[in-house]
Amino acid sequence: MPLDVVVGLQRGDEGKGRFVDLIAKDYSVIARGNGGSNAGHTVVPDTMEPLALHQVPSGITNPGKLNIIGNGVYVDPRRLVKEIEEVKATGLEVSKNNLLISASSHLVLPHHIGFDALRENGLKAQGSTKSGISYVASDKYLREGVRFELLATPKILYERAYDGLLRLNEVLAKEEKQSPDEIKATVEDWLKSVEALQIHMADTVEIINERLSEGQKILAEGAQGFWLDINHGMYPLVTSSSTTVAGLLDGLGVSAKHLNKVTGVAKSVKSHVGHGPFITEIKDSALAANVRGAFGLTDSEFGKTTERPRRIGYPDLVELRNAIRINGIDELALSKLDHVPRYGKEIKVATSYTYKGSERLTSPTSALALESCEANYLTMDTWDKDISVLTKYSELPKEATKFVDLFVEQLGVPIIKIGVGPGRRQVIEKPLG
């Protein structure tokens, strides 16, 4: 069966992009099926500066591969055009030969972003990335959304974007309101971006399924993480996509019967960029700052889309168990093992919760219930050695292998790859057993 999947098991930013960039060479197609420009996947291919991808699949760094943006992705045309230019500026090819966008994907309109920012700046803030995701999603489910295929009738597209901005204007503060000329200019700019993407428009469901029937290997790249899922995450402090394997397959239009292997990505350093319950959060701001590191595209805990500092906590195996169960994870890729010593000489790892006086190994699925859980920890020794230069599992200090073994024992799933730095080669293959 030719379909493999990579999904995030925590709260996003686990390192999905870097593992997809590494294994993309083994696939014919790399496809995104959920999320949108709220995602930020940093890849550091050989001999390249770090590259933050948002809507373009992380297979783009591997020449000769077909990258697909599926029907479940919320496409922001203006940001995508800019992103394509940024990728091209690195010398990589982005053309209709290696990037296709589903004609059925829903477009983010300028007012979606405006309404999202307005809510985020007010009392109902959720910590969103202000990418317009909640508003494009609500239009989709109201069945009033604008799909990419509507480009066949640009006049309708123009009117929908124009009307949206008029509605936004009604609720904007006086000094923020746009004049009719400004609205016209914003809509024209947006429409120009949609038109620029036309060469990439395709029936991606047909294409993926054709390739599957030919036995070609497909890699589905998840966005966000399990706990941001609209059905299973910390509702309402989630995103507006289904971020599970099931949601990803649905967002690509492929049947689960093609599924071969599901890799879950988890990071050793626990962090979260938005609002929401965070049971193992570290309250000691100096320790949190040390684990977070200094601002940068790699090596630090800052959101890649918003540049916000991520909240820091201790690793939490309890929430991983829920994600493993519902996604049917076959194997784990563990990132950021190199950052574990940032916690100090010891690190606490949450292995169970106490909820209403009872110990439990999985987390309650309600955000409200989560608020009243307490974590129970095991304490592990860390290490001094710089492991970011190592290439073999046997070279890791024994404290590092004990840390990895704890995950395997507690979670019952093999760890097959371990990130020891952000670079493509900074991954150690862990022998099974």
- 7-26 residues near ligand IMO, rule: CB under 6 A: 8, 12-13
Nearer to ligand IMO, 135 or 353 (CB): 135
**Could you identify the residue written with the tokens 């966000």?**
224
Minimal distance, residue 250 CB to ligand GDP, in Å = 20
List the one residue from 55, 98, 105, 131 that touches ligand IMO (CB under 6 A): 131
Task: Note whether 90 and 49 are within 8 A (CB).
Answer: yes
Give the pair of three-digit tokens for residue 6. Answer: 């990579």
List the one residue from 2, 264, 341, 422 that touches ligand GDP (CB under 6 A): 422
List the one residue from 7, 9, 15, 131 that touches ligand GDP (CB under 6 A): 15
- 291-320 residues near Mg ion, rule: CB under 5 A: 304
Give the angle subtended at the CA of 160 by the CAs of 155 and 161, to the nearest 5°: 100
Q: Is 133 among the residues that bind ligand IMO (CB under 6 A)?
A: yes
Q: Is 382 among the residues that bind ligand GDP (CB under 6 A)?
A: no
Residue 46: how many other CB atoms lie within 10 Å:
8
Q: Closest-CB residue for ligand IMO?
A: 274
Q: Is 253 among the residues that bind ligand IMO (CB under 6 A)?
A: no
Nearer to ligand IMO, 237 or 387 (CB): 237
List the one residue from 2, 3, 8, 32 that touches ligand GDP (CB under 6 A): 8
339 as an active site residue: the answer is no
Residue 322: how many other CB atoms lie within 10 Å:
19
Q: Is 15 among the residues that bind Mg ion (CB under 5 A)?
A: no
- 221-240 residues near ligand IMO, rule: CB under 6 A: 223-225, 228, 239
User: Between 195 and 224, how does the x/- string for binding to ligand IMO read (CB under 6 A)?
Assistant: ----------------------------xx
Minimal distance, residue 192 CB to ligand IMO, in Å = 24
Nearer to ligand IMO, 73 or 151 (CB): 73
Catalytic residue among 4, 21, 41, 54: 41
- 314-343 residues near ligand GDP, rule: CB under 6 A: 335-336, 338-339
13 as an active site residue: the answer is yes
Cα gap 305→221, rounded to integer Å:
17
Q: Is 14 among the residues that bind ligand GDP (CB under 6 A)?
A: yes
Q: Is 57 among the residues that bind ligand GDP (CB under 6 A)?
A: no
Specify the stretch interacting with ligand GDP by CB under 6 A; choose among 41-49, 70-78, 155-163, 194-202: 41-49
Q: Is 274 among the residues that bind ligand IMO (CB under 6 A)?
A: yes
List the one residue from 15, 33, 35, 40 that touches Mg ion (CB under 5 A): 40
Question: Could you tell me how many residues of this chain bind Mg ion (CB under 5 A)?
Answer: 3
Catalytic residue among 13, 21, 116, 338: 13
Q: Is 16 among the residues that bind ligand GDP (CB under 6 A)?
A: yes
Report how far apart, in Å, the C-alpha atoms of 8 and of each of 28, 154, 228, 244 are: 22, 37, 10, 8
Nearer to ligand IMO, 38 or 352 (CB): 38
Q: How remote is the C-alpha of 289 from its chain's centroid?
A: 23
Q: Is 40 among the residues that bind ligand IMO (CB under 6 A)?
A: yes
List residues binding ligand GDP (CB under 6 A). 8, 12-18, 40-42, 44, 297-299, 304, 335-336, 338-339, 419-422
Interacting residue ranges for Mg ion, rule: CB under 5 A: 13, 40, 304
Q: Which residues are catalytic?
A: 13, 41
Binding site for ligand IMO (CB under 6 A): 8, 12-13, 35, 38-41, 126-129, 131, 133-134, 223-225, 228, 239, 273-274
